[in-house]
Structure 1
Amino acid sequence: MSHAVQLSRIHHVAYRCKDAAETVGFYERVLGMTFTTAFAEDHVPSTGAYDPYMHVFLDCGGGNVLAFFELPEQPAMGRDANTPEWVQHIAFEVPSMDALLAAKAHLEAEGITVLGPTHHGIFKSIYFFDPNGHRLELAANIGTPEQLAELARVARPMLDEWSQTKRAPRHAAWLHAPEFQEGAE
């Protein structure tokens, strides 16, 4: 059965930035993204409101686009004080653990503080911040097809239990078992 909405991929994800040129430079230099497009307008096309902006687009590879808005006439950027900074982040996939470790070395050579690698059972990640305060994650998949199948199998029961209890269900506790973490690449 097909759905009424036919999605083909994410066109782009947009965030706010403090300085469009600094942001583009960071993502090109630090993460190797390609700056592809910029739009500057004085009026918002969807609302007609006066609100000058620069909208920049960076290709992350694989048809994935990350965009930013610089809004010079809006109040300074902030963040949701009620949401921990670790929650809202942008995660990018790297092809292997070797690539993850090479990325970490590159980031640290750029003077960027990096947390990790952190083991998440089926992937390992490193974390750092861009110049705008957005938390970024690089993740290398390490899960087996069997592990991924088991996670898919327990996804609905975990969500249902969480919805009833608001406590972490133990359906995938094996992800954090010491023997699993020690044996993972």
Structure 2
Amino acid sequence: MQADQERAPISIVYYCVFPKEISVEIDQQQEMITARAARLANNRIRGWHHHAVRTRDMVATRRFYEEVLQLPLVGTWVERFDVIKQTPSNYVHCFFELGDGSALAFFQFQEGMRDEPMPMPKDPYEHHVALGVDSIEMVDWFRKRLEESGASILMVDHGYCYSCYTQDPNGMIVEISTIVPNGIPILETAEKTAAVDLARWLDGIRASNNRWRGTTKT
């Protein structure tokens, strides 16, 4: 009986053999991932440091970015000199931190120190800032938070990424976006023809090459 209790457990090993077509596809996707990693590593510009705009209302701006989007305020720099006009001034420069250490930043000047901020474009084709998250589920999580805050939203399935658009208190259009589960192969395929695709469009060939648009959740 004692010998039975001390007997070593039996190990069972399962082997999975993929069809040749699937094995080739897996190899191709791995090559794409490796090529992308090498290309990114070779880029001397490592990412955003910050993106900055002016605001009339830092209180509302902070409420939106800290409470709704959960970006912590990590820096408030009080400055007394306008480096553009080279004149005395007074303003704050506030930084809201993203997960990679970069930031969205906002200036608010003391009243009378500058003209009113220029209005932000209302059309996302003119200007918007896109913030990346890890999954479609996280985009939808932020969509719910934005809706609960009373913000208007627009959902767009670009095919290679999935996005929720809204406006911050300054009128800046903000996109919450993620690369879709099969997005890396899609993007790497596009990278191989990007220069040719641009040249064709500039030459007047207007046919769409995005066959993935609208397919993420179907």
The reply to whether TM is greater than 0.5 is yes
Contact 2:66–2:72, Cα closer than 8 Å, also in 1? yes
Please state whether the residue corresponding to 1:173 is helix, strand or coil. Answer: coil
1:41-62 deviation line (CA, Å, top 9, x unaligned): 2212465323422110110111
Deviations along 1:48-89, whole A, 9 cap, x unmatched? 323422110110111121111113332222336xx6621211
Report if the CA contact (8 A) 1:20-1:54 is conserved. no
Which residue number corresponds to residue 110 of structure 1?
Answer: 149
> What is the aligned partner in structure 2 of residue 174 from structure 1?
211
Q: For residue 19 of structure 1, what is the aligned residue in structure 2?
A: 57
The 1:93/1:158 distance shift into structure 2, 3 A limit, reads same
* Mean CA deviation greater in 102-111 or 40-49: 40-49
Change in CA separation of 1:146 and 1:6 when aligned onto 2, cut-off 3 Å: closer
What stretches of structure 1 of length at least 5 have no aligned partner?
none
When Rg is computed on C-alpha atoms for both structures, the one with the higher figure is 2
Q: Say whether 1:52 aligns with 2:52.
A: no
* Aligned partners of 1:158 and 1:169 also within 8 Å: no
Q: CA deviation at 1:183?
A: 5.7
Matched length: 172
Q: Which amino acid aligns with 1:108?
A: E
Identity %: 24
Give 1:43's aligned amino acid.
F
Does the CA contact (< 8 Å) of 2:122 and 2:172 recur in 1?
no
Aligned counterpart, 1:69: 107
Paired with 1:184 and 1:157, the residues of 2 have a C-alpha distance of 30
| CA offsets 1:136-179 (integer angstroms, 9 cap, x no match) | 000121143321221101211122223333x6453x23233xxx
- Aligned 1:1-185 pairs, distance under 5 A: 6-45=44-83, 48-71=86-109, 72=111, 73-79=113-119, 85-87=123-125, 88-116=127-155, 118-142=156-180, 143-165=182-204, 168-170=206-208, 172-176=209-213, 181-182=214-215, 184=217
User: Compared with structure 1, are the counterparts of its residues 28 and 8 closer, same or farther at alpha carbon in structure 2 (3 Å cutoff)?
Assistant: same
**Structure 2: gaps spanning 5 or more residues:** 1-42
Instruction: Please report the RMSD computed on the Cα atoms of aligned residues, expressed in angstroms.
Output: 2.3
The 8 Å contact of residues 123 and 140 in structure 1, kept in 2 or not, is answered as yes
